[in-house]
Chains A and B, each alone.
Chain A
Amino acid sequence: MSTMSYKKKRQPLTIGRLFTYLLLYAILLLVVIWVLYPLLFTVSSAFSLGDSLAGLTVYPFQQELGLRQFERLFQDTNYLQWFTNTLKIATVNSLLSVTVTTITAFIFSRFKFTAKKPLMMSMLILQMFPSFAGMIALYILVWRMGLLDNHLGLILIYAAGNIPYNTWLIKGYLDTIPRSLDEAARVDGAGYLTSFWRIILPIARPMVTFLAITSFTGPWMDFILPRLLIKTDSKKTLAVGLFELINGRENNYFTMFAAGAVLVAVPFVIIFALNQKYLTQVLASGAVKE
């Protein structure tokens, strides 16, 4: 990372300046400790042999290390099941969202029909409502549909809730693809589906990838909805499972929780590191007003 600064070169050191820099380094190092301590403490707890929070040493990695907590996690809890459940929900949600949203966006971008404008406007308004606003009704609806304690209900709600915003997003992108491209394909005899599949989707790939990733990562740490709709322990998602693992019994389960948390957090950090450059760009482009 190049750091273009407004200062051209390093300034010569004076006593006063030296003091300022020592102070600055001291602060930066304190922040390093503050940032790292919880993370290191969690990792060290995950590899500890003791089962209680009170028994852990205050400084990380001062106790004997082992894999006992991971064994407990896999034997005594449904952790693996929670993990596969979440993976399943995230994957299906991603596929469903991408399919429904891209087709909807394609139609909004390329067709003219009677209620198009009002429909687009209502989606704009709908995406402003936070999803929790309809919590109670969702519960009753899912219950009446017989989908309580069933992953399908969860997936349908996730996918439906994201349609309005994502449709606008993808439609905006599709509008920038010249119409002449798919019209040419239509002249050559391709149907709408073919021109959508063969022409539009490949060009829109970056946006579709973005949509696929966000709808995949969304459900991993979502809490409210799965807590509301899923009751059976073996059907729970990771977020709810981990939460209920230690809720109210912190002392005796913290180390096991730490093991579970490390197993989720590590892939997240790796994905983050891989995407960091891209992510910074997205963040920066969000900041820079055109």
Chain B
Amino acid sequence: MAKNKLQLPPLKNKKPVWASLGFMGLGQLLFQQQYVKGAFYTLIELLVLINSHHFIKAITGLITLGDPQPDLPIRQRPNSIFMMVEGIIFLILLALFILLYISNVRDAIKTQRNYERTGHYPGTRAFMSSLADTSFAVVGLSPAMLMILFFVVLPLVFSAMLAFTNYSSPHHIPPANTVDWVGVENFQTLAGRSLWAGAFGRTALWTVLWATLATTTCYVGGLLIALALINKNIRFPNFFRVVYILPYAVPAMLSLMVWRNLLNGQFGPINRMLMEWGWISQPIHWLSDFTLARTSMVVVNLWLGFPYFMMLITGVMTSVPKDLYEASQIDGANPRVQFFKITMPLVLYQTMPLFIMSFSYNLNNFGAVYFLTGGGPTDLATTQSGAGATDILMSWMYKLTLDLRQYNIAAVLSILVFLVIAPFAIYNFSRTKAFKEGEL
């Protein structure tokens, strides 16, 4: 959008602008005959001023998080976490107020400029009619904006802040104790040589390895099946396709819990079957051996995930324009050349974005861990850190929050995880039609 930026002459009379800068709405009210608008602005500022002690109290609370008062009964002790949430709410209100203040000054400038050009101020009637338009927008937007502020922005700000506190069990859980700001201590804990750092290193490594293995196996598996079924010599390809698509149609959570039972070390039918056939004499610990559990996870995920890529790749292969093949045939290309020079490049090119998205999905594939292995098997270090052998960052975070109440470490993890997936999210979104075509 090329905007024609005109060099505007400086305002002759700056008094209203200064007045509005000093007290919201004053310029509009005293100099610009904007009574309704001015009164609205003034009222808001008055409301904020009257309630300023609430603002001050909430924001001081956010800064100090309360002093420990062990002699008070527990119910009356300052609750740092509530103070934090309230502090953030008032911070948001303050930010909104500042935005309104800025809009008030800009409005004063605009009105004044208009006046100096045309020689009169817009009347109340003109303002009221423009208000009808604005009020529809304001009323229509406010539910969405309020919901986003409270249930999306506030929680995100809160958990980002938690990363810099010591909110954790057993010594810093309100209401019995207070929580304090500790700077970047939690980040140092994870980067240092402590038990936490060990658990973090192992989990982070497995998260990346897991996402790579899970995505690649599903992609290659789906590709191979799609290739086999598109072959003209294979009979009943649609029968195979319908069967193979079933794992995709069943909710993954249910399938994972079924697999957990199939692979049960004691009573699982898979072990019993293998023993019946005489292949093994002892039950195999599918989900309770370090390496086996990780392998089982990848294989079960292949069961869940290959149908998606099979469907996708089949779709791409059947939509390759026929004339490409015909033209290449005239040029003397045999099926093999056609396959490697036309089909495969097209399939790879068109499915690569979905491969990348699938990778970022697997980085956070909570279900594949939690419902199958529950993060286990555990080892000695697990008792304190909570991270089992198959835990990925996401499932570890869940355990830290719900079972171990190590909220500070969980918050650091959520920041780190966000930093890792943000590029994928940006990439993903930049591809969507809404982003490419939509104007801001």
Contact = CB atoms under 8 A, between A and B. Distances in A.
Interface of A: 1-7, 9-11, 21, 24-25, 27-28, 31-32, 34-39, 41-42, 52-54, 56, 58, 100-101, 103-104, 106-107, 111, 113-117, 119-121, 123-124, 126-130, 132-138, 140-141, 144, 156-157, 159-161, 163-164, 167-169, 171-173, 175-176, 191-193, 220-221, 223-224, 227-228, 239, 242-243, 246, 250-251, 254, 257-258, 261, 264-265, 268-269, 272-273, 276, 280, 283-284, 286-290
A273 B241 CA distance: 12
Interface residues of B, number: 118
B350 A161 contact: no
A272 B251 CA distance: 11
A273 B249 contact: yes
A130 B335 contact: no
Q: Which of A36, A140, A191, A192 has the most CB of B within 10 A?
A: A140
A130 B418 CA distance: 8
A126 B318 contact: no
Interface string B417-440: 110011001100101111111111
A36 B243 contact: yes
Contact of A141 (B150, B228, B418): B150
Contacts of A107: 136-137, 140-141
B155 A133 contact: yes
Interface stretch (B7-15, B35-43, B205-213, B259-267): B259-267
A43 B205 CA distance: 38
A31 B225 contact: yes
A290 B231 CA distance: 28
A120 B440 contact: yes
Contact of A54 (B85, B255, B266): B266
A290 B350 CA distance: 10
Given A134-B156, A163-B144, 19 more contacts: A3-B318, A32-B240, A35-B247, A39-B246, A41-B262, A54-B266, A103-B140, A113-B137, A126-B153, A129-B152, A130-B364, A133-B159, A136-B155, A137-B85, A137-B159, A169-B432, A223-B366, A242-B257, A290-B436
Contact of B240 (A28, A42, A239): A28
Contacts of B401: 135-136
Nearest to B405: A136
A268 B434 contact: no
A6 B317 CA distance: 9
A250 B261 contact: yes
Q: Which of A27, A35, A101 has the most CB of B within 10 A?
A: A35
B63 interface: no
A144 B85 contact: yes
A21 B250 CA distance: 31
A31 B354 CA distance: 24
Contact of A136 (B147, B251, B411): B411
A4 B147 contact: no
A54 B87 CA distance: 55
Given A6-B335, A6-B339, A133-B156, A269 B318 contact: no
B22 interface: no
Contacts of A36: 243, 246
Nearest to A56: B269
B99 interface: yes
B437 A243 contact: no
A116 B411 CA distance: 31
B123 interface: no
Interface stretch (B70-78, B185-193, B308-316): B308-316
Contact of A35 (B103, B303, B312, B353): B303
A41 B269 contact: yes
A203 B355 CA distance: 33
Contacts of A58: 269, 272-273, 276
Nearest to B428: A128
| A-B residue pairs, 3 tightest by C-beta | A134-B155, A172-B434, A137-B158
B325 to A, nearest CB: 5
